[in-house]
Chain A
Amino acid sequence: MSGEGVVEIRNLHVSIGDEAILNGIDLTMKKGEIHALMGRNGSGKSTLAKVLMGHPEYEVTEGSVTIDGEDILSLEPWERARLGVFLSFQYPQSVPGLQVGNFLRKSVAAIRGDNTPKAREFRKELKTCMDLLDVDKKFLGRYVNDGFSGGEKKRLEILQLMLLKPQLAVLDETDSGLDIDALRTVATGINSSVGNAACLIITHYQRILDHVNPDYVHVIVDGKIVASGGPELALKLEDKGYEWLGEERVAA
């Protein structure tokens, strides 16, 4: 994808039913930047991920999300995907009977459109990515996420990230359920593809940030970003927990 790759989230309010979950998120991300969004369970971070991708369950009540000035909130999920939005799912769905290789080829064709590589180039590209993620060739013949271990599911998500080449990559708890080796491998994959994307890493813990270095760290509490800073903010959170943020807010 060409373009400036500027993603702007402005005053985003989201509810599900009568319950407000996001209460005015503001965030600007540029191509090549890695932003980490940290928060406790129920703080709204996964909601933000799903809303950016267009999950039908959530209602945007206020605010906007644009990529290079183009509004994406009115687009269907597949239209956003074709525009260059990618979500690495916290819980990827299984599709029994759909082979990984076939799925990847079809998705690349749907998203990269005219720039879809020819069969031979695609195989080459695929092999490079799979080697990097330490994924066996047999993987391609298996059914999408069907009977996959946690690590295999996350590898498949990152393999898609690498092949689909998005402008905005949202990684929702990609580190959860991974052992240290898998985490390292997955991080290599992420690092190899973030150069051309604005990347939003949603996480609970600091540990993935040891392998994927964020330019910015944001903390979300009750559906609002309450603190933003550099990598040192993540370390502070690791050290002191989320409690102090609440106190500071009260104090301010």
Chain B
Amino acid sequence: MSDSEARDVVGEYEAGWHDPETSTVRFDAGLSEQVVRDISELKNEPEWMTDIRVKAFHHFMKQPMPSWGNLEILNNIDFEAITYFLRSGNKTENDWDDVPEDIKRTFDRLGIPDAEQKWLGGVTAQYESEAVYHSIREDLEAQGVIFLDMDSGLKEHEDLVKEYFCKVVPYQDNKFSALNTAVWSGGSFIYVPKGVKVEMPVQAYFRINAKNMGQFERTLIIADEGSSIHYVEGCTAPTYSTESLHSAVVELIAHKDAHIRYSTVQNWSNNVYNLVTKRAIAHKNATVEWVDGNIGSKLTMKYPAVILKGEGSHAEVISVAYAGQGQHQDAGAKVHHLARNTTSKILSKSISKDGGRGSYRGMVTVAKKAENCKVNVVCDALILDEDSQSDTYPTMEISNPTCRSEHEASVSKVSDEQLFYLMSRGHTEDESMALIVNGFFEPFTRELPMEYAVELNKLMALEMEGSIG
């Protein structure tokens, strides 16, 4: 299949264009210790980082592929066909006018500079392996907030990075966290000082443009005592007939009384494997919220996790997944209650359509000594046609009898009567379906900044076009 045929099959993916590749550094496809060392050397990294990378690389090579999940798709990944590093600009700019013209045009089309002016506290824009643009509002900088791309974070705040890097997600955690640690490039580094509340969200935008590209961003967010931050990320890629790999690792540390909210709307094209490890540690009375939207990709495996380490800490994981033709969204959440009086809430919603498959995979554990915990899990699936599939794999291991836990699951289908009712109010069949679908996602969209919610609804309306035949 050619790329243009691939685009025909995929249909209405809005962000599916690609620009000519204008790389300044491009590694040959394939992975070896030398590639790992070259990446580190190119970035002029301290030795300890090179060492971790190399160790992680060997762990990755040793580690078998996961034995669960969609093995048919997973085992198709050709690690040798992937390009592990591609540099597009010469440096990270802080003025859009200095960003290479065609790359700037891409982000213009995605509406990033516009959003930045209107409602964001800071923006980092990553193109292939590295950030091409980065900026933060002066008032935040004056309060000591650090918001950098991860490469600059390592250069400018090596001590902080060394203290926290790989501590929440060790490279040994799983095969893909090992891969990410070995070849990571880009991502965000954020430190919010004690007591500083960042009111406006900060955003990172990830774009893959080249074919057979591997993007391995690494994000580390540290919210010091009593601080708060809302981080939003978006992702798109062109539609190609060959696959790209996106494998990120995100580590969050919420210190005492801190609040981190991490929102994602992932809209990768349907030729991207999206295998991501996201995990947070919440200390005493801290709150961590993952708001996670999965619309695109061929296969997503992502289970944002929170370790409730401190007494009274709270976790919230709200996720939606849309699985269309040829897509499998294997998403969910993990929460570990290690301390007493900790609470968690998981809400998962999935829609499958045109033969797509949506899976909820969740795990909640409550440790023996964790008294008075509260656990609430709700997962709802909506199936739009006979060819599509939904499954759930919930696991709860509760080792303390004082825990109060609730679990609800539902699977529903759109009824003809519901469609008829909406059509009788002047809405076409597609529009009616979009109203039902957006309604189903509403508990998720209302958690997003308004601009994102509008965008997500538009995206879903587009996915519903021609959905009834």
Give residues in A with beta carbon < 8 Å to B: 53-57, 76-78, 80-82, 86-87, 89, 91-99, 103, 106-107, 110-111, 143-144, 160, 164
Contacts and interface: CB of A to CB of B under 8 A. Distances in A.
Contacts of A93: 415, 417-418, 420-422
A127 B8 CA distance: 47
Given A56-B420, A97-B442, A103-B435, A82 B415 contact: no
Contacts, number: 82
Interface of B: 415-418, 420-429, 431-432, 435-436, 438-443
Contacts of A86: 424
29 contacts: A53-B420, A53-B424, A57-B416, A76-B429, A77-B420, A77-B424, A78-B425, A78-B432, A80-B424, A86-B424, A93-B415, A93-B417, A93-B420, A93-B421, A95-B418, A95-B435, A95-B436, A96-B439, A97-B438, A97-B441, A98-B436, A98-B439, A99-B442, A103-B435, A106-B435, A110-B426, A110-B431, A160-B425, A164-B425
A91 B443 CA distance: 25
A96 to B, nearest CB: 6
A78 to B, nearest CB: 5
Contacts of A106: 427, 435
Q: Is the interface of A mostly helix, strand, loop or mixed?
A: mixed
A177 to B, nearest CB: 17
Given A89-B421, A93-B417, A93-B418, A110 B439 contact: no
A92 B424 CA distance: 11
Nearest to A81: B426
Contacts of A144: 439
Contacts of A56: 416, 420
Given A56-B416, A93-B415, A81 B438 contact: no
B423 A76 contact: yes
Given A93-B417, A96-B440, 9 more contacts: A53-B424, A76-B428, A78-B427, A82-B426, A93-B418, A97-B438, A99-B442, A110-B427, A143-B442
A135 to B, nearest CB: 18
A77 B440 contact: no
Nearest to A160: B425
Among A53, A97, A160, the one with the most B-chain Cβ atoms within 10 Å of its Cβ is A97
